[in-house]
Amino acid sequence: MTSHRAPVQFQQLWAGVGRNEVQAAATLAAARATPPGPAEVEALLQLASSEPPSAALLPVLSLLTRWARQQSLQPAAGRLTALLLTVATSAQQLLTNAAANAAPQLAAACLLLLGSAAPALKEDQRAVEAIVGAVGGALLNGSSLGGPNQAAAADALAAVGNLLPCLLGKPVAACWLLSALLRWLGTLEELDGSSCLAVDFLAPAYGMMRGVGTAAINASQPGPAVAGLLQPSFAVLKTAIAASQQQASSLLVAVPAACAVLAVGGLCDALQRGAAGYSEASQLAAEAEAALLEACTAAAATEMAPQPAAAALFRNACSLAATQLTAAAQSPRLLVAAAVARCQTWSLLHSALSLEPLHRAAAVQLPPAAASAALQRQLGCALMQHAGSLASSLAARYAALDGGTQRWLLEQVQAAARQAHQHYRHYSLSPPLAWLSAVDADAVRQILDRLFLSCLVLLAAALEAVGRLQPAPSVAAATLQLQPAQLSALAARVLADLQFCRLSSPPQYAAVLKAALADLPGDAQAASSLASCLPCYAELAAPCATRDGEATWLVDGAGAAKVQFVMSLLVPCCNALSLGVLENQLAPLAFLYLLHPHPPTAAAAHNLLCSLLVAVPQPQRPPLAAYYVQRCLEGCPGTTSATQLAQGLATVMEVLPVGCPVALLCLHQVLATCCKLSARGDPSAQELAAVAAQQLLIIDHLLLDEAMAAFDRVLHPLDAAAPPDGGVPSAAAAAVLQREVVAAVRRTDDCLRKPVLAAWLLRAGG
């Protein structure tokens, strides 16, 4: 049933409620119909009393809760007090029955109903005391509500949030109720999901205490509100936070402490908004802000320790509370605090934007629907909702942070990028393709986009702080303790790890990339640092079991994106790198990726190898050159383009020592491949013949006679001795090659070489 049903249809459903039809109540609750009137409330109460206590009664309680909330908005004279008392009494009885029948969902709904009815009954202190006793008793009992989960926690927090303003002037009762709530939350045995999802079930605590503070201030003067409710409540919350510093790894302590941190943030928010100028409120707001800062300091102090779930939950709660508070009211103490920046950085990069849940889902091959649902929950979590503003805020504050915190933040960006790359590679390679195609790709893309943009704006802030994005460096450059080249290398490594999710549109990307390139070519340490982030050859060459045994480098898109980026950046750096790095790290990977099916990746490998051939000492060039040409020809036709081959051969002929026979070997390899392609009528033979003919114009002049002899064996196959492989060049190959050689000789302007070649052609023609 939808909300646009006609009133007559609603009347029919209410008639069904009058006949004790639970399904009618469920339809009305799902339709979000207007709150019921007195007669309908009586019918709902009758239905609730006639049914056994079970989850089937949840729609009934939902409708009664709507009515109770409506009553609390009415003037005191317009409220149906007698009916409210009846509803409250019935809810208390149902709460008792739910506990006896192990119906925790129903018990939590009863708490919400009681909490919603209390504000409408606040003039009746006996009724309020009874409700407080029932709610607090259920929380302390614990077994009636079962273990805390997101739905039950939301109901309990809402109930207590509605009840606390009714206890203005009764600090003992307020503290008892708040303590009961925290104690029940501490019975959580295990966190559900990742730490960014775990904090979500406590997130309503911020709004709860903000509402309590606002309601108390509106109901009384700030002085009585602070003394009679807010100050005692703050004392309870502060005690819970302090307990976490002794037992940070215990859920029994960490969960109440995390809830208390969020509640303190909400209280500070309410005081800063609604009681500015009042000394009592201002003092309490300052105390609350100091308590939040102290909690962030304690949470940040555990950053290097192993990360138990409890510590991560507490840190995320600190981050969320500080983020919400600074968004609501600019708080200079929090904005410049290093501990707050550390907590927020960790929560943003290692919790909200972490790909660990995606990696874990792929590892166990969670059903695709369940994996997609988990991704949607991650996108909807409170920390994720603040991800963009949080990254921007951290970037804006970066220059004001101390040097140690600045460097730590950059290290976290680097660690997050590296971990994201590893997690995504595992996600994309470990499960079958059918599983991958069934997972919500749009949700994955949204998380990747936010991760990339967050890392990018933080990198841009760091580079700007040391003058890499502006002409004059700021004072922070001296405190960062990173040389410009080191920072450039770090930025390059981060961008390399994030190439798999790169967005080309952000304006910061071009600026960060330019800054990353600025110092690499002239700094051997920075260039070596970038080269060291390349993946392991053995891992790339190994077969991928989930992709029919194909080599990993052929099916690993994330790895290829990273390798392509790093190879492109290292092209101008080869002269600064050691021979060991060139031969042992770069050459094997570049040779491998020469035949990559993605043309830009293969082109990056060609460019790097050409630069490498120039950089290595002359004795090392011949074997590298020979294998380079052999590997290129393995990709003809198809992977290796004629342009790339021509560029590579030109480099080979240029860098080889004078008179080196490897130049002739390379030429023989090209001619042999050209003959094979011509023999089977491949149209690419003509392009390869043009490349071969071009070598006559650039090969070492001392080798020109032998080069012409090699061409003669193809141009005049009947006159030539059989080649070593036993094959005989075809007439088709001779014709194709003849045309390209003549064209090459005609267009050359080499006054020394052209007469020799022309005479050779004339002799051959004669």
* Closest to 314 in 3D by CA, of 374, 412, 245, 411: 245
Q: Is residue 566 part of a domain?
A: yes
Q: How many domains does the chain have?
A: 2
Instruction: Among 504, 519, 534, identify where a domain stops.
Output: 519
Spatial distance between the Cα atoms of 653 and 666, rounded to a whole number of angstroms: 9
* Closest to 198 in 3D by CA, of 109, 250, 259, 284: 259
Cα→Cα distances 399→121, 338, 458, 463, Å:
53, 12, 11, 10
For residues 479 and 529, state if they share a domain: no
Q: Is residue 339 part of a domain?
A: no
C-beta of residue 153 within 8 angstroms of C-beta of residue 185: yes
Spatial distance between the Cα atoms of 499 and 562, rounded to a whole number of angstroms: 6
Measure the CA dihedral 425/428/432/437, to 10°: 170
Q: Is residue 377 part of a domain?
A: yes
Q: Is residue 573 part of a domain?
A: yes
Q: DSSP string covering 599-663, please?
A: HHHHHHHHHHHHHHHHHS-GGGHHHHHHHHHHHHHHTTTTTS-HHHHHHHHHHHHHHSPTT-THH
* Closest to 87 in 3D by CA, of 104, 105, 70: 70
Spatial distance between the Cα atoms of 64 and 69, rounded to a whole number of angstroms: 9
**Encoding tokens for residue 107?**
């018990």
For residues 501 and 579, state if they share a domain: no
pLDDT value at residue 727: 46
How many CA atoms does the CB half-sphere of 521 hold within 13 Å? 10
pLDDT value at residue 4: 43
Spatial distance between the Cα atoms of 527 and 292, rounded to a whole number of angstroms: 43
What is the pTM (predicted TM-score) of this model? 0.87
For residues 502 and 379, state if they share a domain: yes
Instruction: Among 462, 496, 519, identify where a domain stops.
Output: 519
pLDDT value at residue 464: 86
**Encoding tokens for residue 729?**
């060049």
For residues 501 and 547, state if they share a domain: no
Residue-wise pLDDT for 554-594, tens only, equals: 999 999 999 999 999 999 999 999 999 999 999 999 999 99
Q: Could you tell me which residues are beta bridge partners of residue 551?
A: 543
Stated length of the chain = 766
Q: Any alpha helices (H) in 250-348, and if so which ranges?
A: 251-274, 279-300, 309-328, 332-335, 338-347
The interaxial angle of helices 685-698 and 642-655, nearest 10 deg, is 20
In terms of Cβ atoms closer than 10 Å to its own Cβ (0-12, 13-18, 19+), residue 731 is exposed
For residues 358 and 441, state if they share a domain: yes
Spatial distance between the Cα atoms of 424 and 222, rounded to a whole number of angstroms: 53
pLDDT value at residue 7: 66
For residues 367 and 503, state if they share a domain: yes
Low-confidence ranges of the chain (pLDDT < 70): 1-8, 33, 192-195, 246-249, 276, 303-307, 330, 467-482, 718-730, 764-766
C-beta of residue 69 within 8 angstroms of C-beta of residue 116: yes
Q: Is residue 528 part of a domain?
A: yes
Instruction: Among 607, 622, 652, identify where a domain stops.
Output: 607
Helix (H, G, I), strand (E, B) or coil at 551: strand
Q: Is residue 724 part of a domain?
A: no
Helix (H, G, I), strand (E, B) or coil at 543: strand
Cα→Cα distances 546→288, 360, 365, 563, Å:
54, 17, 12, 22
What are all long-range contacts of 446-450, with beta carbons under 8 Å and residues at least 24 apart? 446/379, 447/353, 447/355, 447/358, 447/375, 447/378, 447/379, 447/384, 448/424, 448/500, 448/501, 449/501, 449/503, 450/353, 450/384, 450/387, 450/388
Q: Is residue 658 part of a domain?
A: no
For residues 556 and 481, state if they share a domain: no
Domain that holds residue 464: 353-519
For residues 357 and 506, state if they share a domain: yes
In terms of Cβ atoms closer than 10 Å to its own Cβ (0-12, 13-18, 19+), residue 549 is exposed
pLDDT value at residue 468: 56
For residues 365 and 506, state if they share a domain: yes
For residues 531 and 499, state if they share a domain: no
For residues 381 and 474, state if they share a domain: yes
Neighbours of 618 (CB within 10 A): 11
pLDDT value at residue 5: 45
For residues 603 and 562, state if they share a domain: yes
